[in-house]
Amino acid sequence: MELVEYLRRQFAYGEWANREVLAALKVSQSSTSKPRQLLAHILSAERLWLERIRRQPHALPVWPDFSLDQCESQISELASLWRGYLEHLSSAALSPSVAYKNSKGEAWTNTVADILTHVVLHSAYHRGQIASHMRAAGEQPAYTDFIHPVRQGLIE
Q: Residue 112: what pLDDT?
A: 98
For residue 85, give every residue at least 6 positions away whose Cβ sits within 8 Å of its Cβ, in sequence order, or none.
50, 53, 54
Domain limits, the chain:
3-151
Helix (H) / strand (E) containing 19: helix 3-27
- The per-residue pLDDT for range 1-44, each reduced to its tens digit, is 799 999 999 999 999 999 999 999 999 877 679 999 999 999 99
pTM beyond 0.85, yes or no: yes
Does domain 3-151 fall under CATH 1.20.120.450? My reply is yes
Q: Read out DSSP for 73-91? A: HHHHHHHHHHHHHHHT--G
The total of other beta-carbon atoms located within 10 Å of residue 69's CB is 10
For residue 109, give every residue at least 6 positions away whose Cβ sits within 8 Å of its Cβ, in sequence order, or none.
97, 98, 99, 100
Rounded to an integer, the average pLDDT of 102-131 is 97
